[in-house]
Amino acid sequence: MTKKYGIIGNPIKHSLSPTLHNYWFEKYKIDANYSIIEIETNELPNLINRIKDKDLIGINITLPYKQKIVPHIDVLINDAEITSSVNTVYLDDKGTIVGDNTDVFGLQAAYLKEVDNINSIIIEGAGDRSFCAGGDVVKLRKEVLADGGPPTNLSKSFFYDEYTLNYKISNYKKPFISLINGFTMGGGVGVSMHGSHVVASEKTMFAMPETAIGLFPDVGGGWLLGQLDKGIGAWLSLVGARIKAYDLLKLKLITHYVSSEKVEILKNSIISSSPNSNQKVNNIIDQFSSKPQTEDSVLIDNEELIKKAFSYDTIEQIFDECEKLVENEFLKIQYEELKHKSPTSLKISLKQIRNASHMSLKDELIMEYRMVQRCVEIGDFFEGVRAMLVDKDRKPNWKPNNIQDVDETRVNLFFEDLGDLDLILTN
């Protein structure tokens, strides 16, 4: 029996998805068909029933249904759970309707081709809650463990493709405009902040929280933080602190601030003008730009304190300084956060951003790739993902479990070259 797949959205007649999917079905002699499904919002329950009845094997979702379909889903997984936005729906082996979001992987797979008839690229999130909350590390962990555990070719290719994409964005010759109108964390930083234009709003929230899952600020995030003041960069890296538009603009991590009510108008203006140079894009964005409010700034009142506590070159010194200043309520909170992070991740993250301060993005990404393979092989990564994102017991069993046991020999292992397996980046 022919398996049926489809895509829903409005408008949707322009979609090339059926052509692409059916091409591959025919090429590999798969008895399946992929079609456009035109429905109204009130028809979503009937669509879900078709999947439950196995009349449809699965569907892809595009605007305006990415969020509207969420109430009809039994389980949200991975980025769909974080963003409350779904682009893939299917029935699992237990008869559960599952909603997933694979948008980041789609961008990773596509890479960035220099196409003559493309003047510029705009990238945005679905809805206004989140731009991108990070890569699908839960799915990676599940598939790697199912494959017999680390290290595997899957973990190598996952990060290889991701870091290659980050580098390609940084070298893209045409305007690359990121509208980060919402949560922008982890992998979301990598696909947004290496382009030519990064536009934030009052809804933007930035963080690199990787030390909480046994990792480090990757996707070139370590390079971004390494260019900042030593103390500020270390604070953002180690604590995974969240900052908003005012601080992002102050630190030059974004290029423009536009209020959320004007973001859609800005996007349409860029699309209609089709600018082909950075200056032309600047001219358009400047028409909508304003100064962000200071009320959400963490740095205004705490910048000097952060610099004092986090400018040291060892974790032990940073801990000692935080203990000395622990009567300060803000620093007390930062210190408590630090104590829950992976000790190994803290040490390698600090060394990473200190190294990054005098490295190119290319060299830093190569360094990151070495680090991440060690995190998968001998680090706390899978345990951190388990504790924070899978079981959600928030009780990771870090190995080792204290700073003193993470010696320099162990730290240096994470930075050793991989020989023929090193990341290769070309312009």
What pLDDT, in 10s, does the model give residues 244-258?
Answer: 999 999 999 999 999
- Per mean pLDDT, which range of 217-226, 340-349, 375-384 is the poorest? 375-384
* Residue range 289-307: mean pLDDT, rounded: 94
Distance of CA 37 to the CA centre of its chain: 30
327 is an active site residue: no
pLDDT the model gives residue 243: 97
Please report, for residues 230, 241, 336, 395, 401, the alpha-carbon distance to residue 318 in angstroms, rounded to integers and kept in the order given: 12, 16, 13, 23, 17
- At residue 91, the pLDDT reads 86
Burial of 394 (0-12, 13-18, 19+ CB in 10 A): exposed
- Residue 333: name the closest of 300, 298, 304 by CA: 298
Q: Read off the pLDDT of residues 172-185 as tens digits, 9 standing for 90 and up.
A: 999 999 999 889 99
Distance CA 209, CA 340 (A): 12
Note the helical H segments in 120-228. Answer: 137-146, 153-170, 187-190, 221-226
Q: What is the DSSP code (8-state) at residue 107?
A: H
The model's confidence at residue 77, banded by pLDDT at 50, 70 and 90, is confident
Beta carbons of 209 and 240 less than 8 angstroms apart: yes
Please state, rounded to an integer, the average pLDDT across all residues of the chain.
88
Residues of the chain with CATH 3.40.50.10860: 3-101
Q: From 268, 309, 307, select the one nearest 285 (Cα to Cα).
A: 268
213 close to 388: Cβ distance less than 8 angstroms:
yes
Give the residue, 279 or 82, on which the prediction is more confident. Answer: 279
Of the candidates 6, 9, 135, 182, the residue annotated as catalytic is 135
Residues in a beta bridge with 347: none
Strands of the sheet containing 121-124, edge to edge, are 121-124, 176-180, 197-200, 256-257
Q: Which residue has the higher pLDDT, 411 or 80?
A: 411
Q: Where are the alpha helices (DSSP H) in 274-360?
A: 278-286, 299-310, 315-324, 329-339, 343-356
**Is residue 262 pLDDT above 90, yes or no?**
yes
Please say whether the beta carbons of 163 and 367 come within 8 A: no
Q: Does the structure show a pLDDT above 90 at 405?
A: yes
**Helix H or strand E segment including 362:** helix 361-377
Q: Which helix (H) or strand (E) holds 230?
A: helix 230-239
CATH 3.90.226.10 domain position(s) in the chain: 114-421
Output the DSSP codes for 257-289.
E--HHHHHHHHHHHHHH---SHHHHHHHHHTT-
Question: Does the annotation mark 187 as catalytic?
Answer: yes
First to last CA, the chain: 47
99 is catalytic: no
% of the chain residues with pLDDT over 90: 54
Q: What is the pLDDT of residues 32-60, one digit of tens each?
A: 899 888 888 888 898 889 988 888 888 88
Catalytic residue from among 187, 188, 220, 379: 187
Of the candidates 201, 269, 185, which has an alpha carbon nearest to the alpha carbon of residue 193?
A: 185
268 or 83, which is more confident?
Answer: 268
- Kindly state the DSSP code that residue 390 receives in the 8-state scheme: I
Q: Which residues are within 8 A (CB) of 282 and not within 5 positions of it... i.e. 6 or more apart?
A: 197
**Taking the model in full, what pTM does it have?**
0.75
Q: How confident is the model at residue 82 (pLDDT cuts 50, 70, 90)?
A: low
> Does residue 370 carry a pLDDT above 90?
yes
79, 136, 210, 380: which is the annotated catalytic residue? 210
Number of H helices, E strands in the chain: 20, 13
Which residue stretches of 69-220 are H helix?
Answer: 79-83, 103-110, 137-146, 153-170, 187-190
The amino acid sitting at 349 is S
Contacts of residue 223, defined as CB under 8 A and 6 or more positions apart, other chains included, come to 356, 359, 361, 364, 365
Residue 304 annotated to the active site: no
Res. 109: pLDDT tops 50? no
Please tell me which residue in 218, 364, 368, 380 is annotated as part of the active site. 218
How sure is the predictor about 111, in pLDDT bands with cuts at 50, 70 and 90?
A: very low
212-241 residue pLDDT tens = 999 999 999 999 999 999 999 999 999 999
Task: Report, as an integer, the average pLDDT of 19-33.
Answer: 82
CATH number of 3-101: 3.40.50.10860
Banded model confidence at residue 146, pLDDT cuts 50, 70, 90: low
Instruction: From 405, 240, 220, 230, select the one nearest 313 (Cα to Cα).
Output: 230
- The CATH superfamily holding the domain 114-421 is 2-enoyl-CoA Hydratase; Chain A, domain 1 (3.90.226.10)
Element of type H or E holding 37: strand 32-37
